[in-house]
């Protein structure tokens, strides 16, 4: 397996459910970063110019891959929380602003995972994960 530091490839075959959910998301460019084949993937929390983004906003992973959200310390206090319609329920808890804070979640079920930063969802701080069969 990989240590998660390698970059994924930007793929254009974004599932409609993700494309619609992320239509107003910051740092979403209409592509999904393909990280299949990796054991662990890191998503930045508080990315972009004002720190109101997840980067990458959309990722594709194998089932059983662990996603590690890592806080940049920018944009104030953030959390990671699944929304209605997500295949799995997950929540990092109270919003935190500390640089280097992390939240880990493994996804064993295939399907679409949709999430937000609860305090900044109106600012477009949204993310999505497509979990595919390994």
Could you read off the pLDDT of 10-19 as tens digits, one per residue? 999 999 999 9
Domain presence at residue 2 = no
Answer yes or no: is pLDDT of 46 > 80.
Answer: yes
Alpha-carbon distance of 5 to 134, in angstroms, equals: 19
Domain presence at residue 3 = no
The residue behind tokens 């064993």 is 108
Q: Shortest CA distance to 51 belongs to which of 129, 128, 117?
A: 117
Alpha-carbon distance of 45 to 47, in angstroms, equals: 6
The mean pLDDT of the chain is 95
Q: pLDDT tens digit string along 61-111?
A: 999 999 999 999 999 999 999 999 999 999 999 999 999 999 999 999 999
Other Cβ atoms within 10 Å of 39 Cβ, number: 15
Q: CA 6, 85, 74, 96 torsion: positive or negative?
A: negative
| CATH value at residue 45 | 2.60.40.420
**Residue 105 belongs to domain spanning:** 9-132
């Amino acid at each position: 397996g990989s240590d998660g530091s390698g970059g994924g490839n930007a793929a254009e075959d974004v599932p409609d459910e993700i494309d619609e959910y992320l239509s107003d998301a910051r740092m979403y460019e209409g592509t999904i970063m393909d990280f299949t084949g990796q054991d662990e993937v890191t998503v930045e929390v508080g990315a972009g110019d004002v720190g109101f983004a997840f980067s990458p906003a959309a990722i594709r992973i194998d089932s059983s891959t662990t996603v590690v959200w890592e806080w940049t310390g920018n944009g104030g206090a953030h959390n990671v929380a699944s929304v209605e319609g997500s295949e799995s329920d997950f929540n990092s808890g109270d919003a935190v602003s500390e640089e280097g804070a992390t939240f880990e979640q493994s996804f064993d079920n295939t399907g679409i995972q949709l999430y937000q930063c609860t305090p900044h969802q109106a600012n477009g701080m949204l993310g999505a994960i497509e979990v595919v069969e390994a």
